[in-house]
Amino acid sequence: MKRVLGLLVFVLVLNGCDDGNLIQEDINFEDVSTQSCTTNDIIFKLKEKEGLLLEIPSTTFVNESSVAGAPTLLDISSSNRVVYRFYDGVVSSNNICETIAPATPVVTDQWNATAGKIQIFTTAVKTVDAEENSSRITGYKHNIVFKNITFAKSNGTQVYETFPFGDYVTTATALPFLFDKTVEKCSSSNLVYNSTSSESLTLNIDPSLIVNAATPLNSPRTGIIGTTSNVLSYRLFTGLLTADYFCGTTTPTSPAINEQWDAVSGVSGVSGIVEVTTTTNGPTAFKHTIVLKKVTLKKGNNTFLLGDNFIYGDLLTTN
């Protein structure tokens, strides 16, 4: 009899210690899609009658890939809030984002995070053209994990050493790349450029690659991308771009540069190769077809590939 009573007491003690506590799997939103509000700085996940909300400044999510092993770390605070809610009915985004939220469902309980860290690790989302071996960045994936997060509940606290929130994706600025295949060269320098009304692709080319003499069949002149010669840059502008921008002694401040991507230095015979094939285009005229091979463009920690054979364009010259 004493043994039975002892077991009953032990069970009651265990139940009393666990009263009101949920194990981590009960509030796992990792496989639920992340949504965001356009009217405030809340991103959230909804699952039937539950909601996990993160109120954090939108400027936190920078479109820049994180360095390996160095995620962004933020303190949970009044500026970076984490809230877990229970509802008495199925919840929708209207309950989170509307200025005047619907009357139903009603919040029946709420856990507020009072301590911990918000860890964010960002990677670029790329579309890949396997045939051209090229890539373009379409967005940035921000993987969010709560570390040592403490929730204050109506009947105590609950702590999680690691609590995955999941991924939040932001859209990248689109780079049009709407260039035609005709390039120009400044008469006072070695700058070659291709441009539209909003973007440019400039190449400070090695002058030995542009010679008014036809190249032998299948034997183009070659060079590699560098930091002083064959310097390649892509720029996206916020205003109207004209040809007057390129050949002055100083770079104009207008239109303003929205984004600049610089080519990574090449490796001879491997990557970052500039090829020029020259053909005659009349008695005293020549056409120089410039091809960029296996070139990588970089901005900060982000990179993308132009492709195995990116046709930069044709430069026309005369003797």
Asked if residue 225 and residue 107 are part of one domain, the reply reads no
Residue with tokens 């050949």: 247
- How would residue 30 be classed by pLDDT, with cut points 50, 70 and 90? confident
Does residue 210 belong to any structural domain of this protein?
Answer: yes
Convert the pLDDT of each residue in 129-166 to its tens digit. Answer: 999 999 999 999 999 999 999 999 988 999 999 999 99
> Which of 171, 204, 228 is at the close of a domain?
171
Domain boundary among 145, 171, 197: 171
Phi-psi group of 203: left, alpha or beta (phi > 0 → left; psi -120 to 50 → alpha; rest → beta): beta
* Residue 227, in any domain of the structure: yes
Does residue 43 sit in the same domain as residue 135?
yes
Is 253 found in the same domain as 136? no
Considering the domain architecture, whether residues 252 and 122 belong to the same structural domain is answered as no
Residue 11 scores a pLDDT above 70: no
Does residue 5 sit within a domain? no
User: d(Cα 120, Cα 140) in Å, to the nearest integer?
Assistant: 12
- Residue 216 maps to a domain: yes
| 111 falls within a domain | yes
Distance of CA 269 to the CA centre of its chain: 30
Note the pLDDT of residue 27.
79
Query: What is the predicted pLDDT for the residue at 23?
Result: 42
What's the pLDDT tens digit per position in 255-313? Answer: 999 999 999 999 999 999 999 999 999 899 999 999 999 999 999 999 999 999 999 99
Domain's final residue, options 171, 202, 224: 171
Pair (26, 157) in one structural domain: yes
Q: Are residues 186 and 299 in the same domain?
A: yes
Shared-domain flag, residues 191 and 305: yes
Split into its structural domains, the chain has a count of: 2
Using an 8 Å Cβ cutoff, are 237 and 257 in contact?
yes
Please give the pLDDT value at position 26. 66
Task: Indicate if 190 and 309 belong to the same structural domain.
Answer: yes
The answer to whether residues 51 and 96 touch, using CB atoms and an 8 Å cutoff, is yes
The Cα–Cα gap between 205 and 228 comes to 9
CA–CA separation, 210 vs 185, rounded Å? 10
- Over residues 197-225, the mean pLDDT reads 98
Number of helices and strands (H, E) in the chain? 2, 19
Domain holding 110, by residue range, is: 22-171
Q: Are residues 223 and 311 in the same domain?
A: yes
Same domain, 163 and 54: yes
Cα 238 to Cα 153: distance, rounded to the nearest angstrom: 49
Residue 20 pLDDT class (50, 70, 90 cuts) = very low
Contact 198, 176 (CB under 8 A): yes
Residue 145 lies in a domain: yes
For residue 16, being part of any structural domain is answered with no
Confirm whether 6 is domain-assigned: no
Q: Are residues 153 and 222 in the same domain?
A: no
- pLDDT value at residue 136: 97
Q: What would the mean pLDDT of 224-240 be, rounded to a whole number?
A: 98
Question: Model pTM greater than 0.85?
Answer: yes
Note whether 164 and 198 are same-domain residues.
no
37-55 pLDDT, tens digit each = 999 999 999 999 999 999 9
